[in-house]
Structure 1
Amino acid sequence: MNIKRTDIDALNATLTLEITKEDYQEKVDKILADYRKTANIPGFRKGHIPASLIRKKYRTPVLVEEINKMIQEKLNSYITEEDLNLLGNPLPKAQEEIDWGKDDFIFEFEIGLAPDFEVDVKGKKAITQYEIKTDDKTINDQIDRIRENYGKLIAKKEVAEGDEVTGVFRNDEEEINVDATFSTSKIKGKSNLKKFVGAKVGDTLELKTKGLFNEDHDLASSLKIEHDKAKDLNVSVQFEITEVNEREKAELNQEFYDKLFGPGAVNSEEELKEKLREDAGKQFAQQTDQKLLTDVTESLIENTKFDLPADFLKKWIANNGENELTEEEAAAEYERSEKGLRYQLIESNIVKNNEDLQLKFEDLQDYSRTMIKAQMAQYGHTDATDEEVDQVVARIMSNQEEVKRMSEQLQNEKMLKFFKENAKLKKKELTYEEFIKEAYDA
């Protein structure tokens, strides 16, 4: 069997396979001989069916199956031997109906090649690396929220400023009929607040959704609608008050500290603040790290220029899903996935050129072991033996889905560390509220 590559351009080529009778005859003859021994055909004893009849009945399906196997094996071996970096899989070129009565065959396949390019991780423009300050206001606000959550509800008949109100929002045209509970401290503007203060259980208030709450997400949460819809919603709603409660904050005492962190872990307000500051620092670091990874990714995609075999990829997308797509559907899917594909190629390029970023089986084992120990410690199992941990690790490593998920997590951590050490960054310290507003345009 011969295979020949013809380059169309730097990103597209065709592979031509020539298959002769000598390539498949021996294998096909052996299979047909085995069929003759085992086939059941009415009017003939098993093992005594004429070879010509077996050949007439079974040669074509056997030949088709064997040639398809040969094609796949040859393509795979050729791609490996030539070290071809393909995008997608080879696509068979359309041809007239094959005459399987012939002795020799020619098959052609289109292939899309990954581009050659260089990645400048350093870049020209510095990327902001945010650091969130755990200032006193942030910690005190968090303590107030926790005290409210652990506090007592005192039922009331009339709404006062700062009370928690429960009721039903209604608007027939928008098909709104939902229960909601919120604090009047979230109501925006004096005129709106005035409608609530003094209202009683059983009263129905006439309200406008536009500008009702300080934050759009509170309106989305109360009406149980998407954030984007809440942002632009401007309709009248009725709100029937069904319950009013004053929330009395929990006292800062040892019982409160023990409820939060377990007996004796925190013993004073100062220790509480220090513990919350430590926990907040970890949570903030996760958010700022994710933001940095996203921003570096976007920057690399924008500034690393290379072409893709777009026409081939659209054709490949159209023909390789569960259902065949139209040209328009394939083009739309390509547009949606192009940025992701570009970053996959960029990341592969970076990993290929930096050995420390390449995942090894031992790395995954160690990473899994660390995760298991941390999870066990969370549930108080701090004295697990190496044998116990290794048994759990073995179960995880035998699960393909878990290995895939863990590989992605570890690769992200390695990439984040690499970017912190190699990308051009500028640090910026701000409060959590400032971070949310600046980083996410909130």
Structure 2
Amino acid sequence: MEITRENIDELNAVIKVDIKKDDYNPKVEKILKDYRKTANIPGFRKGHVPMGMVKKQYGQAVLVDEVNKLLQESLNNYITEEKLEVLGNPLPKDQESFDWEQDDYSFEFELGLSPKFDVDLNTKKPITQYQIVADEEMIDNQIKTIQKQYGKLVAKEEVEEGDVVAGTFKNEEEGIENTTTLPLEKLKGKRNLNKFVGAKVGDTVSLKTKSLFEDDHNLVEFLKVEHDKAHELDVEVSFEITEVNQQELAELDQELFDKLFGEGNVKTVTELKEKIKEDAENQFKQQSDQQLLNDITERLIETTSFNLPGDFLQKWIQVSGENQLTAEEAKEEYEKSEKGLRFQLIEGKLVQENDLQVKFEEIKEITRDRIKMQMAQFGQTDPSEKDLEDITARVLSNQDEVKKLSEQVMNQKLLDFYKEKANLDKKEMTYENFVKEVYK
């Protein structure tokens, strides 16, 4: 057997595999002899079927199967030994005059080669690394939310600003009839609020749906209208008040602190604010880290220039799925996936050159830590080593879970690497300003 390669250009090559009869025939003959021993053919005792008949019935199928196995194995070995970095899989070239009746065969395969390029994290324009802080206003709002959540409603007869009213929204023509509980703070503007203030249980208030709430999506929640309809809805609705309640806030005392954070962990309002700030900023860190990953990904794709074997990849996409695509469909799929492929190559180069490989022990460690955290939430703060090992083993027996964990570990490795090596500009801001700047 002989394998040769012709490099068409830096990104495309053709491999030719010449297979002689001596390469495959011993294996084919052995398989046919084994078939002869077990073949059940009417008129012949088992093991006494003439070899000519066995070859006639099974010969070509066995030949094709063994040649294809030999071809695939030799092709894979060649790519490995030559250290060829290929994209997709080798594609067999059409051979119109191919004949299985010959003794010797020649096959040709197209290869798409991975491009050569360098990755520079030290970009001229720095990438923003957001540090989101919880400001006093956010902390105070969170405390008020907690006080409402753990407070109580006190029934009353007449509506005042800040109350919560229960009742039914109605509009017969639009098919609106929904009983709900409405915090008056959800209303938009003094005009809407003033229609409620001074009203009593049993009164009916008339309202316009347009500009009823600060957010039109509240119409979906309180009136139960369809989402697509909410943005354009401009009708008059009635609201019959069936109940009026004053929101009595929970006291900021030790009983509340213990409910929130466990006995004795928070003892003062100052400590409460510090705890809320810490918890909020931990959540913000996850969001800012994800934004940093997204921004660096976009910047690397933008600044790392290289060509791809586009024509080859479109051919490969066309035939590699469950259903063969048309050339136009394959081109469309390639254009949609090109950006992702580029980053896969960039990421792979960074991982290889900087030894960022994920080790199984790292996956096992993060799994154990998460299991301990989950058990602690249910009061098991000191699980035995055997319990931890058993649960960890069960989790890691699921290959989908291992893959997901591996991706998470790799993302963290890349994030740490970026923070150390990339040209970053740290920018501190509140969450509200972060949302305005990033999501505009």
TM-score, length-scaled by structure 2? 0.88
1:391 paired to 2:390: yes
Alignment partner, residue 108 of structure 1 = 108
Alignment match, 1:143: 143
Q: 1:28-86, CA deviations, whole angstroms, 9 ceiling, x for partnerless residues? A: 11111111110111121111111111100001111121112112111211111111111
1:405 counterpart residue number: 404
Asked if the contact 1:87–1:113 (Cα under 8 Å) also holds between the matched residues in 2, the reply is: yes
Match of 2:414 in 1: 415
Which secondary structure does the structure 1 equivalent of 2:107 belong to?
A: strand
CA separation of 1:162 and 1:403: change in aligned 2, threshold 3 A: same
Matches within 5 A, 1:253-264: 253-264=253-264
Between 284-293 and 391-400, the greater mean CA deviation after superposition: 391-400
1:322 aligned residue: 322
User: Are 2:71 and 1:74 equivalent residues in the alignment?
Assistant: no
TM-fit CA distance, 1:386: 3.4
Decide which moves more: 234-243 or 15-24. 234-243
Report if the CA contact (8 A) 1:28-1:66 is conserved: yes
In structure 2, what is the Cα distance between the partners aligned to 1:98 and 1:158? 93
Structure 1 pair 71–174 and aligned structure 2 pair: CA distance change class (3 A): farther
| Amino acid aligned to 1:299 | R
Query: What's the RMSD between the two structures over aligned residues?
Result: 3.1
Aligned length: 436
1:22 and 2:22 equivalent? Answer: yes
Instruction: Select between 360-369 and 286-295 the one with higher mean Cα deviation.
Output: 360-369
Which residue pairs with 1:375 in the alignment? Answer: 374
* SS at 1:30 equivalent: helix
Which deviates more, 93-102 or 258-267?
93-102
CA distance in 2, matches of 1:334, 1:179: 51
Question: Do structure 1's residue 335 and structure 2's residue 335 form an aligned pair?
Answer: yes
Task: Name the structure 1 match of 2:232.
Answer: 234
Output aligned runs, 1:426-441, within 5 Å: 426-441=425-440
Counterpart of 1:308 in structure 2: which amino acid? Answer: L
- SS of alignment partner, residue 47 of structure 2: coil
* Counterpart contact for 1:178–1:224, Cα < 8 Å: no
Give CA-to-partner distance per residue, 1:245-281, whole Å, 9 cap, x none.
5443322223322222223322332222121112112
% identity of equivalent residues: 53
Distance of 1:204 and 1:17 partners within structure 2: 85
Instruction: Report deviation, 1:193.
Output: 4.6
2:55 pairs with 1:65 = no
Cα gap change, 1:206 to 1:13, in 2 (>3 Å): farther
> Contact (CA 8 Å) 2:192, 2:207: kept in 1 or not?
no
Q: Offset of 1:224 from its aligned partner?
A: 7.9
Matched AA of 1:12: N
CA distance, structure 1, for counterparts of residue 433 and residue 67 of structure 2: 65
For the residue of structure 1 that corresponds to 2:18, the secondary structure is strand
Aligned residue identity for 1:427: K
Given the superposition, is the C-alpha separation of residues 278 and 173 from structure 1 closer, same or farther in structure 2, using an over 3 Å criterion? same
1:422, distance to aligned residue in structure 2 (A) = 1.1
1:223-372 mapped onto 2 (5 Å cutoff):
233-236=231-234, 241=239, 246-355=246-355, 357-372=356-371
Question: Against the structure 1 CA distance between its residues 267 and 5, is the aligned structure 2 distance closer, same or farther, given a 3 Å change threshold?
Answer: same
Q: Match for 2:354: what amino acid?
A: N
Q: Distance in 1 between matches of 2:294 and 2:126?
A: 14
Deviations along 1:172-213, one digit per CA (max 9) or x if unpaired, are 99999988765332333445555666597795856445x543
Check whether the contact 1:206–1:236 (CA below 8 A) recurs between aligned residues: no
Q: Secondary structure at the match of 1:236?
A: coil
Distance 1:182 1:289, change over 3 A: farther
Q: Which is worse superposed, 138-147 or 262-271?
A: 262-271
Runs (5+) with no aligned partner, structure 1? none
CA shift digits 1:220-246 (9 cap, x unpaired)? 7666877xx68x932335656476654
Letter in 2 for 1:372: I
Partners of 1:29 and 1:359 lie apart in 2 by 46
- Structure 2 residue runs of 5 or longer lacking an equivalent are none
Give the Cα separation in 2 of the matches to 1:419 and 1:337. Answer: 24
> d(CA) in 1 for partners of 2:205 and 2:234?
13
Q: Which residue of 1 aligns with 2:118?
A: 118
Deviates most, 276-285 or 249-258: 249-258
> Shift of residue 108 of structure 1?
1.7
- Residue type at the aligned position of 1:415: L
- Assess, with a 3 A threshold, how the Cα gap between structure 1 residues 59 and 290 changes in structure 2: closer, same or farther: same
When normalised by structure 1's length, the TM-score is 0.87
In the TM superposition, residue 405 of structure 1 has moved relative to its aligned partner by: 0.9
The DSSP-based 3-state class of the residue aligned with 1:323 is coil
Q: Say if 1:153 and 1:93 are closer, same or farther in 2 by CA, change over 3 A.
A: farther
Question: In structure 2, do the counterparts of structure 1 residues 24 and 216 end up closer, same or farther at CA, with 3 Å as the change threshold?
Answer: farther
Which amino acid in 1 is paired with 2:107?
F
Aligned-partner Cα distance in 1 for 2:137–2:400: 43
Residue 381 of structure 1: CA displacement? 2.5
What is the CA–CA distance in structure 1 between the aligned matches of 2:277 and 2:100, rounded to whole Å? 75
Which sits farther off after the overlay, 94-103 or 431-440? 94-103
Q: Which shifted more, 297-306 or 316-325?
A: 316-325
Larger radius of gyration between Structure 1 and Structure 2: 2
For residues 329-387 of structure 1, what are the alpha-carbon distances to aligned partners after superposition, in whole Å with 9 as ceiling and x for unaligned? 222222222222111111111111112x2222333233333333333333332323334
Contact (CA 8 Å) 2:13, 2:110: kept in 1 or not? yes
How far residue 120 of structure 1 moved from its aligned partner, in angstroms, is: 0.6
The amino acid that maps onto 2:419 is: K
Query: What is the distance in 1 between the residues matched to 2:413 and 2:138?
Result: 31
Alignment check: 8 A CA contact 1:169 1:238 kept: no
